[in-house]
Amino acid sequence: MRDPNTASNRGLTMTKGQGAYDLICIGGGSGGIATARRAAAHGARCAVIESDRLGGTCVNVGCVPKKVMWQAAHAAEVMERAGDYGFSGVSPRLDWGALVSARDAYIRRLNGIYERNLDKSEVDFISGHARFVDAHTVAVDGQHYQAERFVIATGGVPGRPGIPGGDLGIDSDGFFAMPDRPEKVAVVGAGYIAVELAGVLHQLGSDVSLVVRRERPLRSFDEAIQEAYVHSTTQHGPTLVNHFTPSGLEAAWGGYTLHAEDGRTLEGLDQVIWAVGRLANTDELGLEAAGVRTGDGGIIPVDPWQATNQPHIFALGDVTDNPYPLTPVAIAAGRRLADRLWGGHEERRLDYRDVPTVVFTHPPIGMVGMTEAEAREQYGDQVRIHEAGFVPMDFALAPAEAKQRSTMKLVCVGAEERVVGIHLFGVGSDEMLQGFAVALRMGATKADLDDTVAIHPTAAEELVTMT
């Protein structure tokens, strides 16, 4: 790896001990690394500054370790159903410590791969905390680095409720540091992080209460998906506790007690996990020294080209006001930014339209495009809905009380019934959505789906045989 303290750069004034770059990415998560590597491939001199482990939230305390835990939970679910297929003597016992140890070793390997990839791309890695000194200079542990352009990709941090005893619970980061599986746990929150953690712990044997302030979780999803998920929790768990607004958390002999504003309590809890939203990680960046404006919660507003109010400073990912706080979105935005600034693609930018997303519940949820409510607001009476509900063959031999139903929904508009929304709840939704998302973005109609020969027997065939 080249020495970041000895480079020159496009006429920037340097003094002894300073490094200068075409681009400095502040934040060594997926978005920052992807941007720097793509810019370097176009010939830019780049550096990535990160104060923690490379890979950011996704690799260290997000998508990747979460999916490992989901796989463990899925394995437990499959073993529970083994008897339906004639297997006997299958009685799984989880060694939580072994699972956590293997998961963390896998993450450490990924950290090393990220660092080696930076080196291969000739991107300098600067370990430490970056803070702006002025609009073209950041300081890291007393060392100054200059750049023609900056990308801020520092992501978010978990929020906590401002209630008495709020610090007694743990957040989603703390979930990955738990040394033992809690026997009885409350997961507080209504978004995808909350339902994912609640589902994992439930499948791995914990007594889980999913605590939401309103009627249902996942309120930004299509109503059919909300209903399918709630029905699933009623039949299979975890326990949904709704209209519960936490007012305090206290530790007592026998466990934690979570209090609600209406006087209800959840008692005897081994752990409380807050999954009540995330905050932009901008407090310590010294953005005021660079003249970068921020909004509520430290969010950095950006234009469609990822630019802040300072035209040479860009931001992407969860630190911005983008509507999709997803790792692939940050990567896509960063690569397009680098292609435009250094690759000669003058109109290249991310179109934040029809972004597919998956929630790793049990079974998974997948969606792309408009909900029915959004479509009706825009298109009115032109909206046509097609739905299917069925029991997938995964549960063909299961007893009636164990069968898990799937739900699929197409939202179409116009006389040609162009597909503008696809909503899935059921086995395989996570894997089947990607291809159908391509079809939606290409303008597929209901007739296009109908004309596609089904693959039988699969759950995915329901999307091309739906009436």
In the chain, what is the straight-line distance between the N-terminal and C-terminal CA atoms, in Å? 59
Length of the chain: 467
pLDDT (tens digit per residue) in 237-267:
999 999 999 999 999 888 999 999 999 999 9
pLDDT (tens digit per residue) in 91-140:
889 999 999 999 999 999 999 999 999 999 999 999 999 999 999 999 99
Lowest mean pLDDT among 4-18, 277-291, 450-464: 4-18
Q: Which residues of 443-458 are buried (b: 16+ CB within 10 A; e: fewer)?
A: ebbbebbeeeeeeeee
Could you give the 3-state DSSP secondary structure of residue 43?
A: coil
Residue 388, Cβ density class (10 Å: 0-12 exposed, 13-18 middle, ≥19 buried): middle
CA distances from 258 to 209, 212, 218, 234, 252 (A): 11, 13, 22, 22, 11
CA distances from 121 to 6, 33, 58, 115, 317 (A): 18, 10, 21, 10, 22
pLDDT score for 91: 80
pLDDT score for 16: 31
Q: What are phi and psi of 112, to 5 degrees?
A: -65, -40
Fold assignment, 19-59+99-158+279-342: FAD/NAD(P)-binding domain (3.50.50)
Query: Which token pair is 76?
Result: 């437990």
pLDDT score for 17: 37
pLDDT (tens digit per residue) in 183-199:
999 999 999 999 999 99
Fold assignment, 166-276: FAD/NAD(P)-binding domain (3.50.50)
pLDDT score for 19: 54
Which residues of the chain are in CATH 3.50.50.60 domains? 19-59+99-158+279-342, 166-276
| Dihedral, CA of residue 222, residue 225, residue 226 and residue 227, to nearest 10 | 120
pLDDT score for 329: 97
Q: Is 395 a residue whose pLDDT tops 80?
A: yes
Pick from 363, 456, 460: nearest CA to 403: 363
| Pairwise pLDDT comparison (91 vs 157), residue with the higher score | 157
Fold assignment, 357-465: Enolase-like; domain 1 (3.30.390)
pLDDT (tens digit per residue) in 175-184:
999 999 999 9
Query: Which token pair is 192?
Result: 């995808």
Q: Is 289 a residue whose pLDDT tops 60?
A: yes
Which residues of the chain are in CATH 3.30.390.30 domains? 357-465
Q: Which residues of 295-316 are buried (b: 16+ CB within 10 A; e: fewer)?
A: eeebbbebeebbbbebeebbbb
Lowest mean pLDDT among 6-15, 37-46, 384-393, 446-455: 6-15
pLDDT score for 15: 37
Q: Is 6 a residue whose pLDDT tops 50?
A: no
Pick from 125, 136, 121, 146: nearest CA to 3: 125
Instruction: Give residues with Cβ within 8 angstroms of 337, minimum separation 6.
Output: 35, 151, 305, 306, 314, 316, 348, 349
pLDDT score for 7: 34
Q: How far apart are CA 378 and CA 372, in angstroms?
A: 10
Instruction: Compute the average pLDDT of residues 63-88.
Output: 95
Instruction: Compute the average pLDDT of residues 359-380.
Output: 98
Q: What is the CA radius of gyration of the chain?
A: 24
Please identify every residue annotated as catalytic.
Answer: 456
Pick from 140, 135, 151: nearest CA to 5: 140
Mean pLDDT, the chain, as a whole number? Answer: 94
Q: Is 23 a residue whose pLDDT tops 60?
A: yes
Q: What are phi and psi of 240, to 5 degrees?
A: -90, 125
Sign of the CA dihedral with 123 first, then 126, 131, and 132 last: negative
- 210 with 240: CB under 8 angstroms? yes
- 446 with 386: CB under 8 angstroms? yes
pLDDT (tens digit per residue) in 311-322:
999 999 999 998
Could you give the 3-state DSSP secondary structure of residue 174?
A: helix
